Amino acid sequence: MTIAIIAHDGKKAEMVGFIKDHIELFQQRKINLIATGTTGSHLERAGLEVEKMASGPMGGDAQIASRIAEGNVDMVIFFRDPLGKHPHEVDVNMLMRLCDVYNIPLATNPAAANRFVQTL
Q: Which residues are catalytic?
A: 61
Alpha-helical runs (H) found in 35-119: 37-45, 60-69, 89-101, 110-119
Closest CA to 35 of 43, 46, 23, 26: 43
Residue 44 CA to residue 12 CA, distance in Å, equals 12
* Rg, the chain, Cα only: 13
Residue type, 118: Q
